Structure 1
Amino acid sequence: MKKKTLAAHNIRILFLYNLLGTISFIQPVLTLFYLSRGLDETDIIWMLMFWSGFVLIGEVPSGIFADRFGAKRSFITGGLIHFISILVLVFAHNPWQFFLSSALSGLAATFFSGADEALIYDSLKESHEENKMDHAMGRINAAEFITMMIAVILGAFLAHDLTEAQFLVLLYLGLGFQAIGIVILFFVKKPIHSMSYRDNPFKQVREGVRVIRRTPQLLIMFLNVTIVFIPAGAVFGNFDQPFLQGAGLPVSWIGIIYALAAGIGFFASYFIGWFTRRLSRVFLMHVTGFLAVGGLLLASFFGERLTVALFSFFILRFVRAIRYPIYSQLSNDWIPSTVRATTISLLSIIDSAADLIIFSTIASIAAFGLPRIFLICAVIALIGTLFPIRKGDKVNLH
């Protein structure tokens, strides 16, 4: 990838934001924090549903906002909302306060969803490097794994007794770094040839719908990605702490295991080009989908054994790291620049609808324990993996 280009600058800024602005010291004990404040497994599933519901509500307005006013303003708005969502957690002691925090977090995510990919793809086009989209997103996402390696060890150490005071320290640290991240976002630069959409916003949405209707393969590929990610990433990620603890892993070791997983994720994401030079992107998407199914089945049937629990945990973290950058390259090759953020946001609405369906299904069996949850997740991930994927060319709207 070329140096001293607009793409290199914006990749560096988003890398720094992911490195500092998204750091979460409470992540390694987050589920244990929820449980300590009186939530149960069903409440946690409801938090996921509130997150998805507000993503569903906010996706199109935030996508229109990004296409009309630019990625920088969209990012800063999302960063401020995310700051408030963390602040609500500090004072949350009943389920509805946690649901509010989750709703704000989901709304904040919509201001980054689509806008980050649109910014990077258009920046890469200026230096004729749009075929490097997966490399760029892999490097940006790698920052989160570096952050996780540091934050999870420190977070698990600071909260080793799982006391209220220790949880608050972790939340205040998160607020401080989120504030730093918001400042970093002011240095994002707009691509010179980026085309802001200035027509009626409803027409903007219609153009995005037209892209999806003209490229059914884009929708099918998106369904593959999202139906695998929801059970293997979102659901498993919210129960991996009690899962590992139940398999016999001490709380003090959770941070170390998270850090090792983050290290695997970092190398898989940062060096995504090594994989795509040797294997086709389509092949990698299918293989990682079946790996997700296998990891969930292991967790369901043999999760009480610590070695198996750790193996399934690492498999699922690897899958999460490698699939998104590849999907980002494949999907953005289909979408025109003028409605890129809006189109991605429209797809995310489908993701949110799938979230709500899958989360409500899992909530109905959550009381039966983690093995049953992971078994249902494996079945859902298998369905997603069976959706076909292929490469394509950009849609011409005119």
Structure 2
Amino acid sequence: MNPAARRVQRTYLILQLGNTLAASFIWGINTLFLLDAGLSNFEAFAANAFFTAGMVIFEIPTGVVADTVGRKASYLLGTITLSVTTGLYWMLWVWQAPFVWWAIVSVLLGLGFTFFSGAVEAWLVDALTSTGYTGSLEAVFGRGLVVTGIAMFAGSVLGGVIAQATNLGVPFLLRAGVLVVMFVYAFVVMKDLGFTPDRSRGPWKATRLVLSESVEHGLRKRSVRYMILSAPFASGVGIYAFYALQPYLLELYGDPSAYSIAGLAAAILSLAQVVGGVLAPRIRGVFAKRTSTVIVASLLSVVSLMVLGLNSLFWLAVVFLTVWGFVFAVAEPVRQAYLNDMIPSKQRATVLSFDSLFGSLGGVFIQPALGRAADVGGYGASLLIGGLVELIGIPLMLASRRQNDPADTKTAQADAAAASTDTD
């Protein structure tokens, strides 16, 4: 890897580190925070659904910002928006506000995250291309997962411990502060390389044009379309399971006030993510096709969720939580590389945002439905149902695989070799 590409990768990894550290302060206690504010299980996951609805509403407009104004501008807007709305979330908890306000602020939180989705990934791929990088995208995305896994571990453990030592609101204030620090870092260091924003059109015309081109290079291309259409099932269930596992582990542990145990769920997932990110390029090399890697990982995810749903032992839940996190970490960088290799640079951020939009759609409908299932039948039943829902996405992944896109068979052996040489 040449020095310029190494600098790009380093900047990307620091951005991932800061973003994940900020977010993970609350990941281990978010559901407990909402329940402590007086919300029911249904209302808590409905608030999360409004968050993902915000991502659906704003995904394309903010993708247009990244493709027409700049990836850096989109990232900076995201950090400020998230910092402010996280502060508002804390205020709602202090005031024990009615659900309607949680819904409104959750939508605004979704707006903040849509400035990130697609923009940072598109910035990385374009910048690496402009610096002459010829290595494996899986290797870079895998390193990103390792870094985010480490940050997630530190943030989730600290968030749980700090919440237990103080109160459930302090981790939210820490999150807002770290986001301000990341704004300053990105403002100084981040540069749009290999991409020239097109500011010649007005925002509405630009939105229509970029959306049209994104549909052309996204949904109208079968290999991309089927992979995007599979996103709602895995993403919707994944978001729900991540947050439901916090109170579920406490339930199995037998102490509803042990917030540090709730943080354990996120911490375990972070360690599994580190291992999965390291091994993803090598595991991908075992399969002739990238889609095969993703499909096998998805099937193992379904099995893990079903076992978690049927299980009543705390230690066994910890084991299968680890398996679930590991297979996700293996699949994600392979899926990212597969999509990026099928999307032209000019439409990359918006098509990736399109993919994120469909994933968010799953969260809008699946989270409150599974939250209601938890109210009626318990967390175990909701996780079992979630595994069945995720299974629906497998035929769509198989349909993408059948298109035989060149990106699917892109030198598995070469990628695995690049993963080891890129670290030199």
TM-score for the superposition, normalised by structure 2: 0.85
Q: Could you tell me how far 1:363 is from its partner in structure 2?
A: 4.5
Aligned to 1:246: 251
Cα deviation, 1:144-182, whole Å, max 9, x if unaligned, reads 211122222222222226xxx422332222222111111
What residue identity is the alignment partner of 1:334? M
* 1:188 equivalent in alignment to 2:163: no
For residue 137 of structure 2, what is the aligned residue in structure 1?
A: 133
C-alpha separation between the residues in 2 aligned to 1:315 and 1:279? 20
Which residue of structure 1 lines up, in the alignment, with residue 369 of structure 2?
361
Q: Could you tell me which amino acid in structure 2 is paired with residue 14 of structure 1?
A: Y
Aligned counterpart, 2:3: 4
Shift of residue 237 of structure 1?
A: 0.7
Give the one of 16, 19, 22 matched to 2:20: 22
Q: Letter of the aligned partner of 1:392 in structure 2?
A: D
Within 5 A, what are the aligned runs for 1:229-268? Answer: 229-231=235-237, 233-248=238-253, 251=258, 252-256=260-264, 258-268=266-276
1:309 corresponds to: 317
Q: Match of 2:174?
A: 173
Give the Cα–Cα distance (whole angstroms) in 2 for the partners of residues 124 and 76 of structure 1: 20
- 1:287 maps to 296
Pair 85,130 (structure 1): closer, same or farther in 2 beyond 3 Å = farther
Q: Distance in 1 between matches of 2:218 and 2:324?
A: 29
Q: Does 1:349 pair with 2:357?
A: yes
Deviations 1:328-360 (A, max 9, x none): 100111111111112222333333333323235
How many positions carry a matched residue from both structures? Answer: 386
Contact 1:333/1:392, CA 8 A, preserved across alignment: no
Deviates more, 1:235-244 or 1:310-319: 310-319
2:314 is aligned with 1:336? no
> Is 1:392 paired with 2:405?
yes
| 8 A contact 1:85–1:104 mirrored in 2 | yes
What does the per-residue CA deviation read over 1:267-295, in whole Å, with 9 as the maximum and x for residues that have no partner?
Answer: 21144322223334222211111111111
- Identify the residue that residue 411 of structure 2 maps to in structure 1: none
Corresponding residue SS for 2:25: coil
- Return the match for 2:109 from 86, 105, 108: 105
CA displacement 1:164-220 (0-9 Å, x = unmatched) = x422332222222111111121211211x3243445411221111111244112111
Per-residue CA shift, 1:38-83, capped at 9, x if unaligned?
1111012211221121111111111111111111000000111110
Distance (whole Å) between structure 2 residues aligned to residue 254 and residue 350 of structure 1: 29
Q: 1:393 to 1:287 in 2, by over 3 A?
A: closer
Label 1:386 to 1:308 Cα distance change in 2 as closer, same or farther (>3 A): farther
State how 1:114-153 maps to structure 2 within 5 Å: 114-129=118-133, 132-153=136-157
In the superposition, relative to structure 1, how do residues 41 and 354 fare at CA in structure 2: closer, same or farther (>3 Å)?
A: same
Distance 2:350 2:154 in 1: 35
Query: What secondary structure does 1:26 align onto?
Result: helix
- Following the alignment from structure 1 to structure 2, what is the Cα–Cα distance between the partners of residues 261 and 213? 32
Deviates more, 1:33-42 or 1:254-263: 254-263
> What are structure 1's unaligned runs of at least 5 residues?
none
Find the counterpart in structure 2 of residue 299 from structure 1.
Answer: 308
Does residue 318 of structure 1 match 2:323? no
- Superposed CA RMSD: 2.2
SS at 1:138 equivalent: helix
Q: d(CA) in 1 for partners of 2:156 and 2:365?
A: 31
Q: By how many angstroms is 1:253 displaced?
A: 3.5
Q: Tell me the TM-score normalised to structure 1 length.
A: 0.90
| C-alpha displacement of 1:311 | 1.9
Distance 1:29 1:349 in 2: 25
Counterpart for residue 68 of structure 1: 68
Partner of 2:209 in structure 1? 203
Q: Does 95-104 or 34-43 show the bigger shift? A: 95-104
Q: Residue 83 of structure 2 contacts residue 180 of structure 2 at CA under 8 Å; is this kept in 1?
A: yes
2-structure distance, mates of 1:74, 1:220: 27
CA distance in 1, matches of 2:28, 2:364: 25
Aligned match of 2:222: 216
Runs ≥4 residues deviating over 6 A: none
CA contact (8 A) 1:13 1:188 kept: yes
User: 1:16, 1:184 within 8 Å by CA — same for their partners in 2?
Assistant: no
Per the TM alignment, residue 124 of structure 1 is displaced from its structure 2 partner at its CA by 2.1
CA-CA distance at 1:380 after TM superposition: 0.8
Cα separation, partners in 2 of 1:10 and 1:292, compared to 1, 3 Å: same
1:83-131 Cα offsets, whole Å, 9 max, x none, are 0121012211222333233212211111111112211111222244366
Distance 1:367 1:130, change over 3 A: farther
Equivalence for 1:36: 36
Could you say if the C-alpha distance between residues 29 and 360 of structure 1 is closer, same or farther in structure 2, counting changes exceeding 3 Å? Answer: closer
Q: Is the 8 A contact 2:122 2:349 kept in 1?
A: yes
Structure 1, 279-288 or 33-42: larger mean CA deviation? 279-288
Task: Verify the 8 A CA contact 2:276 2:326 in the aligned structure 1.
Answer: yes
Measure, in 2, the Cα distance between the counterparts of 1:167 and 1:220.
41
The percent of aligned pairs where both chains have the same amino acid is 24
Mapped to 1, the partners of 2:82 and 2:374 lie a distance apart of: 28
Residues 20 and 152, structure 2, Cα contact 8 Å, conserved in 1: no
Of stretches 169-178 and 55-64 in structure 1, the one that deviates more from structure 2 is 169-178
CA distance in 1, matches of 2:154, 2:271: 10
Uncovered stretches (5+) of structure 2, i.e. residues with no partner: 408-424
